[in-house]
Amino acid sequence: MDFYDDKDELLGDIPLSENQVEQLRSGVPLFIQYRTPQLLRGGAHGDHAGTFELTMAGERIRTDDAAAAADCIKMLQRIRSSGNGQGHDTAG
Amino acid sequence: MAKVTIPLGEWRPDMANLDTQVATDVDGVLPEQISYQPLPDLAAFSNIALPTGPPCGLTAARKADGSWTIYGGSPTKLYRWALGGWTDVSRTTGGAYNVPFSIGQRWRFAQFGPNLIAAGGANDDIQYINVDTGSNFAVLAGAPRATNVATIGDFVVLSGLVPGFTFGGVNTALRQVAWCAINNCFGWSVGLNLCDMNEFADGGLVQQVLGDVNGYVVQDRCIRTMQFLPGDTTYVFQFSKALVDHGGTSKYGSALVGNVLYTVTEAGFFAIAGQQVSAIGQDKVNLWWLANSEQSKRDVVQCISANRPFIIWAFHTAGSSQDYYDRVLIFNWNLQRWAKGSIKAYVWALLGSLGLDLDTDGAETGDPLLDSTAQPLDSFAYVGGRPLVAAFNPDWKLATLDGPPLEALMETVEMHLVPGMRAMVNDVYPLIDAPTTTVSAGTRERLQDLTDWGDAMPLEITGSCAVYSSGRLHRYRIHTTRGDLWSHAMGIIVDPQQDGTVA
């Protein structure tokens, strides 16, 4: 789902499950912890790790740490571009 | 001469059994401390068969209200059981499933909170259903195809990832495991909230993962412990080899009691507690099993933990061409003793029984009026939630392991009753309370001879069987008929007399 920084600028999208979206809609912040997967760590993927929080404001999902969120999105993009391309649906 | 008690002793077919204290053969019994007890047959709980088959999945899931729901699977459908029969709860989009029974694929299930997750192997995506509110299974988005599934602590772990796909930026392989985000069975984005995967450099393909925060990974040439590392985002789980060069023969051949793993390998049966390995079948049943199980079907041997202290391994007898299991090996983990039986079943599971109300109005199927004889009042149908060993019988019907006692056979050790001499035995007093007991005597003069078995002799008014056997070496078979009610078999008492020589 798309999410935004505190200046209302689009940061990107992050896969959230229905339960997580429901949690956000109910006003409970969502804590995201990310880390480069162990099988990809090093080399082109590097080793990225961090945490940030998502909250729902109106219909928009916002984060408290745009830098960490952007780092996470880049990590996810690199993961998606790896492998043989026969990926699974990653909506979860 | 003094009477001689020959106890049945422990069944250890791999051990030399001349003048020892072991039983030569037992069948259709359960192993107990100083005796054997009858092994019940499967009893069909209902006349309603699984609509499509052959059955290749069976499990029970617990709902939020504490009640149980039973799910079954065929190669093309998933079903939910109610006393009225099976309801098709397969996915509504994507067509029929393709879980090929003939090549050893089975539905595997794991419950995670309200969700029951099903893995069907190479040809289908992971499925899930909310057991409280869901009406049909649906694809578990993002999860990689896998041959097995387990709940390990706060994670769903998929094992034996089906090759040919990408998951987490890595090409999938059968030697991999993957786990969801912590406490979120829908979180399959590798790298987020501890969702990750691992690939084992050696030890072969992953057959099965079992356990809790301290679990096990059963590979086909290795068994590893799997320990959750709280707070560690680097590895999440730590894997350590416990058994090297030997691994599970089957994707379904392991079970847990407490945190002890019971598994079958080509080197025999093992119990593994952490890093401590016990060869529970060594000098007992390992060689017997290798000689008597169908080699081409050892990859589908199924193990379940029963509700008494028994581990059951279901397998195909050597030479069997049937697609269902026809034998069980039973291990009493409390006593470390074995027995076996002949029970035909497609797939086994430890279920929680369904409840049936006692309103006596006969409104539901299987709930007749109280004065009806259709359902005895002590039937498990009226008691919900009890742990229950169950299986699909060869007619594809759900059956429970509480039917009539199987036909039982117990054979004593072979003995020189009068050392150095021939012995004559007129009567045998069997230590068993089965009314239809018969005893037959097997004798021979030399170890090099074949055993000559006499007729099965019935019990007389004295409680003895008149076998009239003569020879240097004696052994005896106790036999009961199917359905005969009895409680314990301990052995026999004989009154040997020194006999003449053979010219």
- The predicted pLDDT at position B109 comes to 97
Q: What distance in Å separates the CA atoms of residue B160 and residue B383, rounded to the nearest whole number?
A: 38
Q: How far apart are the first and last CA of chain B?
A: 24
Kindly tell me if the per-residue pLDDT of B503 is higher than 80: no
Q: A7: which residues sit within 8 A by CB, 6+ positions away? A: none
Nearest CA of chain A to the CA of B64: how many Å? 17
Per-residue confidence (pLDDT) for residue B41, from 0 to 100: 96
Given a cut of 50, is residue B349 above it in pLDDT? Answer: yes
At residue B416, what is the residue type? H
* Distances in whole angstroms, Cα of residue A87 to Cα of each of A20, A44, B241: 23, 20, 31
* Helix, strand, coil percentages for chain A (3-state, nearest 5): 30, 30, 40
pLDDT at B399 over 90: yes
b/e for B188-203, b at 16 or more Cβ within 10 A? bbbbbbbbbbbbbeeb
Specify burial of residue A52 (Cβ count, 10 A radius: 0-12, 13-18, 19+): buried
Q: Which residues contact A6 (CB under 8 A, 6 or more apart)?
A: A62, A64, A66
pLDDT in the model for residue B121: 86
The verdict on B501 touching A (C-beta cutoff 8 Å) is no
Judged by CB atoms closer than 8 Å, whether chains meet at B142 and A78 is answered as no
Alpha helix ranges (H) inside B188-325: 286-292
Distance, in Å, from the CA atom of B286 to the CA atom of B264, rounded to the nearest integer, reads: 9
Whole-number pLDDT of residue B379:
61
Minimal C-alpha gap between A36 and chain B (Å): 5
CA gyration radius, chain A: 14
Report the pLDDT value the prediction gives residue B457, as an integer from 0 to 100.
Answer: 96
User: Which residues, including other chains, have CB under 8 Å from residue B163's CB and lie 6 or more apart?
Assistant: B171, B172, B173, B174
Count chain A–chain B contacts defined by CB atoms under 8 A: 115
State the Cα angle at B429 between B426 and B435, rounded to 5°.
Answer: 125
CA atoms of B410 and B429, how far apart (whole Å): 14
Question: Per-residue confidence at B412, pLDDT binned at 50, 70, 90?
Answer: very high
Q: List the single residue in B142, B169, B184 with the smallest CB-CB distance to A91.
A: B142
Amino acid identity, position B331: F
Which residues have CB under 8 Å from B81's CB, separation 6+?
B69, B70, B71, B72, B87, B354, B398
Percent of chain B with pLDDT over 70: 93
Assess whether pLDDT exceeds 50 at residue B472.
yes
- pLDDT band at B382; cut points 50, 70, 90: low
Confidence of residue B378 (pLDDT cuts 50, 70, 90): low
Beta bridge partners of B440: B477
Cα B301 from Cα B295, distance rounded (Å) = 10
Nearest to A38 among B144, B165, B198 (CB): B198
Mean pLDDT of B260-285: 95
| C-alpha–C-alpha distance, residues B101 and B68, integer Å | 26
pLDDT in tens, B417-460: 998 899 999 999 999 999 999 999 999 999 899 999 999 999 99
User: Looking at the partner chain, which of A15, A37, A89 has a beta carbon nearest the beta carbon of B168?
Assistant: A37
- Report whether pLDDT(B117) > 90: yes
Average pLDDT rounded to a whole number, residues B336-351: 96
| Mean pLDDT computed over B353-361 | 57
Give the DSSP H/E element, type plus range, for residue B429.
Answer: strand B423-432
Query: Do residues B322 and B331 lie in contact, with contact meaning Cβ atoms separated by under 8 Å?
Result: no
Q: Which of B57, B81, B186 is nearest to B131 (CA)?
A: B81
The distance of Cα B143 from the centroid of its chain, to the nearest Å, equals 29
User: Which residues of chain B have a CB within 8 Å of the CB of A87?
Assistant: 165-167
User: How is B466-498 classified by DSSP, letter by letter?
Assistant: EEEEEESEEEEEEEE-TT-----EEEEEE--EE
What is the pTM for the complete model shown? 0.90
B141 in contact with A, Cβ within 8 Å: yes
Q: What is the pLDDT of residues B161-185, one digit of tens each?
A: 999 999 998 999 999 999 999 999 9
- pLDDT band per the 50, 70, 90 thresholds, residue B212: confident
Nearest by CB to residue B169, choosing from A32, A83, A86, is A83
Residues of chain A falling short of pLDDT 70: 83-92
Distance from A11 to chain B by nearest Cα, in Å? 17
Residues 15-44 (A) with a CB less than 8 A from some CB of B:
15, 17-20, 31-40
> Which residues of chain B neighbour A50 with C-beta distances below 8 Å?
none
Instruction: Name the residue among B141, B166, B180 with its Cβ closest to that of A91.
Output: B141
Q: Could you tell me which chain A residue has the CA closest to the CA of B200? A: A39
* DSSP H stretches of helix in B35-77: none
CB B170 within 8 A of CB B147: no
**pLDDT tens sequence across B15-54:** 887 878 888 899 999 999 999 999 999 999 888 999 998 9
What confidence score (pLDDT) does residue B393 get? 96
- Specify the DSSP class assigned to residue A44: G
pLDDT of residue A92: 36
Q: What angle do CA B271, B273, B275 make, to 5 degrees?
A: 110
Q: Is the pLDDT of residue B282 over 90?
A: yes
Is A76 strand, coil or helix?
helix
Residue A6: HSE in the Cβ half-sphere, 13 Å Cα cutoff: 6
Question: In the predicted model, is pLDDT for residue B330 greater than 90?
Answer: yes
- CB-CB neighbors (< 8 A) of B190 in chain A: 37, 79
Q: What is the mean pLDDT of residues B222-237?
A: 92
Amino acid at A21: V
Tokens 């990689």 found at: B144
Q: Are A35 and A43 in contact (CB under 8 A)?
A: no
Tokens of B182: 């912590």
So what's the pLDDT on residue B307? 79
CB of B31 closer than 8 Å to CB of B332: yes
Surface-to-core class of residue B56, CB atoms within 10 Å of its CB (0-12 exposed, 13-18 middle, 19+ buried): buried
Three-state SS across B332-359?
ECCCCEEEEECCCECCEEEEECCCCCCC
Per-chain mean pLDDT for chain B: 91
